[in-house]
Amino acid sequence: MLMAQQFVGQFRRKRLLIALVIAAIVLILTLAFRFIEEKSRIEQRALNFADNAIMRFDRMFSPLDVSANNTLGLVGVSCSDVRFPLIEKIAASQTVRAILLVENDTIYCSSIYGPRDIPFSQNYPELAINNQRMMLSTDNFLLKGSPVLLLWTPKNIDNHSGILQVINIELMSNYLLEPQLPWVERAILNVNGDSLEYGNPLIEPTVPSEDEVSYNEASLRYPFSITLYGPSPTRLALATLPSQLPLALLLSLLMGYIVWLATANRMSLSWQISYGITANEFMVYCQPLINAKTGECDGIELLLRWHNARQGWIAPDVFIPLAERQNLIAPLTRFVLNQVVAHLPILPRCPSFHIAINVAASHFRNRAIVEDLQHLWWPANPVPKLVVELTERDALPVVDQSVISQLHEIGVRLAIDDFGTGHSSLSYLKDLKPDVLKIDKIFTAAIGTDAINATVTDMVISLAQRLNISLVAEGVETAEQAAYLRERGVDHLQGYYYARPMPLGDFPAWLEHHQSDIEA
């Protein structure tokens, strides 16, 4: 029973291990999912910021573009005639600092300074020669040193005439590019390779620091782009994980508990045994019973072996007690009966040959063993005698002892297995009237070594002989033990000295070899 409890403990430990592994996996996956989700959210917020900034700049440039196109008709008109309309346009706009008119590659009129005579291509080759529509520059006239954006609207394809708007880009960039911490720390407006960063009045190249990442989005309508610098989304997402830990831990514990409950059946021995029967994992072995007087084999005891595909070989001392506790011993007994019936054609067809099968006390309840024999054993018309060995792991209730008389009536002999080690008592001999007593191997092993147990062995032999009950000694492993038991009149011997348990199908070959050894 101790081994059975250890086996159950192994199942529980495996269940616990599986539950803990699943819980750990769920915890890791939950945190990983939240990390990826948070990282994606941070990246998306940065991109949304860039998209919104581009959309706002586009909205700012669009009316200026329309206004410039509507004003192209003023190009070529004398500066004194158009200056005040230009001033009115600037007054209506909060973003335009000045409007310059260009005619024949010359800036001839300024809304602020009036008539001018400035070469256009020489001062702004990017616009006049490189056909650019925008450029970042520095105001050298009104607010010297302040950044401005030049928006060029040509009148014709030669780029020598048109309207040049000077936009107060510093004011607009400080309004439209205000960073959103923590995911956007720096925002930059880029125009043709020049950059203007929020909060920095200088037009100069920008690069991210070592721990920053960059995002870049370009306008589809105007030749500018927005670059954002901010902390690594990975670092920001990792910083949020401690706040996600309680929920992830709760979810992992819940999943672990669900797995613990879900594996209660599948990871139980009852499920394993039931599955083992249907999957043909059980095998019926047999061990010969040797006549102590003649040395011939005149019977076998059927033994059940289990090779579990998941656990390997499981000893009978482990699964038999557990099967009895789980009320699964009866299906196993029926499995043994079916197997021996299938092998009857290869077994000796002799009335003196007997086949012993172990039956638990619980199988006697409600005449279950009798009904199973009537449905499985007797329809095969067996010639060998059947011996039912009553195992003593459970005490046989008095109410079920009436089944014993029914077994005797139908020609089944009764044996008490492992006599003296379980619940058996002298009252068993009186109430059950067994035909056979089996001496447990612990008493056989004591022969020649343990005086006390050897004395008990002699007392059991003497008692059985006085009650005219046949004796079978289990666990005979040496010639000394066999001689000792033979001298004291034990009827049958069983043990490794004669043969180890073997598959039932191998028994005919062993029997033939044994008979030839006796005859020789």
* DSSP class per residue in 381-442: ---SEEEEEE-SSSPPPGGGTHHHHHHHHTT-EEEEEEETTSS--HHHHHHH--SEEEE-HH
Within-domain flag for 425: yes
Task: Indicate the pairing of strand 162-167 with strand 385-390.
Answer: unpaired
Position 451 scores a pLDDT of 66
The 10s digit of each residue's pLDDT in 12-52 is 777 788 888 999 999 999 999 999 999 999 888 888 988 99
Residue 276 lies in a domain: yes
Instruction: Note down the domain range covering 481.
Output: 269-519
What is the structure's pLDDT at 399?
Answer: 42
The band of 2, judged by pLDDT with boundaries at 50, 70 and 90, is very low
The whole-angstrom separation of Cα 244 and Cα 248 is 6
Cα–Cα distance, 148 to 196 (Å, whole number): 10
Q: Provide the sign of the torsion angle of the four alpha carbons 458, 460, 466, 471, taken in this order.
A: negative
Give which of 222, 224, 228, 232 is closest to 197, Cα–Cα.
228
Q: Are 421 and 317 in contact (CB under 8 A)?
A: no
- The answer to whether 217 and 47 have CB atoms below 8 angstroms apart is yes
* 413: Cβ contacts below 8 Å, ≥ 6 apart: 354, 385, 386, 387, 388, 435, 436
- Summarised one tens digit per residue, pLDDT across range 150-192 is 999 999 888 889 999 999 888 788 878 888 888 788 899 999 8
Residues 159/165/169/170 CA torsion (nearest 10 deg): 120
Question: Residues 429-450: what's their mean pLDDT?
Answer: 82
In the numeric block, which tokens belong to residue 141? 């006239």
| Beta-sheet strand order (sheet of 106-110) | 114-119, 106-110, 96-103, 162-167, 147-154, 134-138
Angle, to 10 degrees, between the axis of helix 2-71 and the axis of helix 316-325? 80
pLDDT in tens, 289-337: 999 999 999 999 999 998 877 777 887 777 777 777 777 788 889 999 9
Least confident range of 218-232, 389-403, 445-459: 389-403
Would you say residue 246 lies in a domain?
Answer: no
- Whether pTM exceeds 0.75: no
CB atoms within 10 A of CB 80: 10
Confidence check: pLDDT of 510 > 90: yes
**Which CATH number belongs to the domain containing residue 501 in this structure?**
3.20.20.450
Q: DSSP string of 288-342?
A: EEEETTT--EEEEEEEEEEEETTTEEE-HHHHHHHHHHTT-HHHHHHHHHHHHHH
The pLDDT value given to residue 520: 60
Report how far Cα 337 is from the mean position of its chain's Cα atoms: 41
pLDDT at 397: 53
> 477, 458 in Cβ contact below 8 A?
no
Task: Give the whole-number percent of the chain exceeding pLDDT 70.
Answer: 91
- Which amino acid does the sequence have at 378? W
Total number of domains constituting the chain: 1
Work out the pLDDT band at 200, boundaries 50, 70, 90: confident
Residue 211: is its pLDDT beyond 70? Answer: yes
Which tokens belong to 121?
Answer: 């291509």
SS3 assignment, position 477 = coil
Query: Is residue 505 within a helix (H) or strand (E), and if so which, with residue range?
Result: none
The mean per-residue pLDDT over the stretch 340-364 comes to 90
What is the rounded average pLDDT of the residues 503-508? Answer: 92
**What percent of the chain is modeled with pLDDT above 90?**
34
Residue 361 lies inside a defined structural domain of this protein: yes
Provide the CA 65 distance to its chain's centre, in angstroms: 61
Of 3 and 148, more confident? 148
Nearest residue to 150 via CA among 77, 64, 59, 21: 64
Tokens (6 digits) for 351: 């009335």
Residue 12 belongs to a domain: no
Cβ distance 302 to 355 under 8 Å? yes
Q: Sheet containing 194-197: which strands, arranged edge to edge?
A: 194-197, 186-191, 225-231, 212-218
Give 1's pLDDT tier (boundaries 50, 70, 90): very low
Q: What is the mean pLDDT of the chain?
A: 85
pLDDT score of 28: 92
pLDDT at 165: 93
- Say what the pLDDT of residue 264 is: 61
Whether 82 maps to a domain, the answer reads no
Query: In this structure, is residue 375 part of a structural domain?
Result: yes
Residue 3 confidence (pLDDT) above 60: no
Structure tokens at 301: 């005891």
Say if residue 64's pLDDT is above 70: yes
Residue 495 belongs to a domain: yes
Mean pLDDT for 457-464 is 85
| pLDDT for the residue 400 | 67
